[in-house]
Structure 1
Amino acid sequence: MAVLTSEAVVLRTWPVHEADLVVSFFTRDYGKMTGVAKSALKSRKRFGGALEPMTVARAWFAERPTQDLVRLDQLEILRSPLSLPVDATRLTVLSFFAEVLEQALPEHDPQETVFRLIVSVLEQTTVEQPWMPLTYFALWMTRLMGLLPDIAHCTACGEALVAGETSFNAFADGLFCHVHRAANASELSADSWQLALKMLRAPVGSFAGEAWPRRRGQDLRRFAMQSLERHMERKLKSGEMLGRLVG
């Protein structure tokens, strides 16, 4: 039974037996995995603080014949979410990242682009700047999951969209012009639409110097979250928590 190694992001853990933990983690090379960390609640040497959700680590694990769970042997921290200050908003944003990846990604399916996305947004997610990386991640996950039609054109008719005359609704992918606006549609502001077009063309770091009050891009985040929830067929608990934070 060969031991494999890969860079990984811890998604969540839950206890099993007296000292073991089941760990869901997303690897760069092998996709999302679920494994058992034996004696994780006792062993500081092999795991230490590396089992905190959204920890970026080097993982060593072995696939076991006829068993769905891998054997997780060791995690070596590369970047800890606790290395920066933490408040309720930042914790909730990190929880959102973990919940989306946990629910959206299939097991054992390498997705290099998604891995690079989560590592890049984690670098930008600070107490001072939580909303920009959250917006970027939510928008890009809809694209990488194949849920985002061309947002420069109306999904219904293909005509070019106009800033300030763009809408979305909870029951259909994409954006719509004023002619094909549904009765229950929500408006996507001109600033948010133009922001989305920019975000799909530029790395997350290029937005780091911009002012991001919590209401900036709020409608864009709602649009992306509705798309994610519709296709995952479940409400995101962290999304509801974020909604309460914004008010």
Structure 2
Amino acid sequence: MIVHQAEAVVLRTWPIHEADLIVSLFTRDQGKIKGVAKAASKSRRRFGGALEPMTHVLANYTEKPRQDLVRFDSFEIVSSPLSNSVDYTRAAALAFYAEVLEEILPDRDPQDAVFRLMLAVLDHTTTNNIWMPVTYFGLWITRLMGWMPDVLHCTVGGEAFAGRPAYWHAHADGLVCIEHKRLASSTLTPESLALAVRIFRQPIAVFAGEEWPRSRAADLRRFAIQGLERHLERKLTTSVALAKLGG
């Protein structure tokens, strides 16, 4: 039996038995792990409010050889999404992060860059601004998974977009110029392409002071989210909620 303490973010919980929960955690050192939190629904001393999705915790747990599920003993809250007000828009953004990470991360595969990305966007997701961190997260998580195409050149002919729009199709990878666009393609404006380049070159804090209405870079968000859904081969439940909010 091995005892661990790990920095982690709570992704999801499922009830089992009477008061027990299955918990999915994204840990910095071990990647995504799942385990049983005994009597978690009743024990405020051991878990308190630390089981809300997107809570940043120090998780104490034990694991046995050849067992897939660990045993969670207690969580200590580092930061909680409930420490600030949560309206529907912020809840939708937090749920989006949790669903994407739950779906794309393999078990037991450390992803330090993804972990740092997650903490950064959590710090900037407020009731007054979800669209900037959602855009930043959507682009960077797609890139870190190796699914983001070159945003400067046509993937067919190699031509630089150089201030011209780019086009993408829901069922194909890559961005193309107008000469190579397919029927039913969507457009990425030159402004959104330039913003994507900035996002890949600058930390999220640089964008915190900028005006970011939901209309800004909406095409860029759809491009990133559809890229995620294409590789996951399913529709993200939370992307529907974000679309209904106009994003």
- TM normalised by structure 1 equals 0.98
Structure 1 SS opposite 2:191:
helix
Q: How does 1:1-247 map to 2 (within 5 A)?
A: 1-246=1-246
Question: Structure 1 residues 61-70 or 27-36, which shifts more?
Answer: 61-70
- The structure 1 segments of at least 4 consecutive aligned residues displaced by more than 4 Å after TM superposition are none
The structural deviation recorded for 1:226 is 0.6
The CA deviation at 1:45 is: 0.8
Identity among equivalent pairs (%): 57
Q: Aligned equivalents of 1:163 and 1:39: distance in 2?
A: 58
The unaligned stretches of length 5 or more in structure 2 are none
Cα deviation, residue 233, structure 1: 0.9
List gaps (5 residues or longer) in structure 1. Answer: none
State the Cα deviation string for residues 200-232 of structure 1 (Å, max 9, x = none).
001111100000101111110100011100101
Task: Report Cα offsets for 1:124-175 as digits up to 9, x if no partner.
Answer: 0000111000000000011001001221111111111133421111112221
Secondary structure (helix, strand or coil) at the match of 2:201 reads: coil
State the distance in 1 between where 2:122 and 2:71 align: 26
Task: Report deviation, 1:89.
Answer: 0.5
Q: TM-score, structure 2 length as denominator?
A: 0.98
| Equivalent position amino acid for 2:133 in 1 | P
* Inter-partner Cα distance in structure 1 for 2:134 and 2:99: 13
Single out whichever of 222-231 and 159-168 deviates more from structure 2.
159-168
Moved more, 132-141 or 149-158: 149-158
Name the CA distance, whole Å, in 1 between partners of 2:62 and 2:23.
Answer: 13
Q: Which shows bigger deviation, 168-177 or 212-221?
A: 168-177
Whichever residue aligns with residue 129 of structure 1, its letter is N
Distance in 2, Cα, partners of 1:163 & 1:17: 58
Give the Cα–Cα distance (whole angstroms) in 2 for the partners of residues 67 and 132 of structure 1. 40
**SS of the residue 1:227 aligns to:** helix
| Secondary structure of residue in 2 paired with 1:212 | coil
* Structure 2: distance between partners of 1:96 and 1:121: 12
Let me know the Cα RMSD of the aligned residues.
1.0
- Structure 2 distance, partners of 1:179, 1:25, is 46
Query: 1:162·1:177 contact (CA, 8 Å) conserved in 2?
Result: no
Letter in 2 for 1:56: H
Quick check: 2:2–2:64 contact (8 Å CA) kept in 1? no
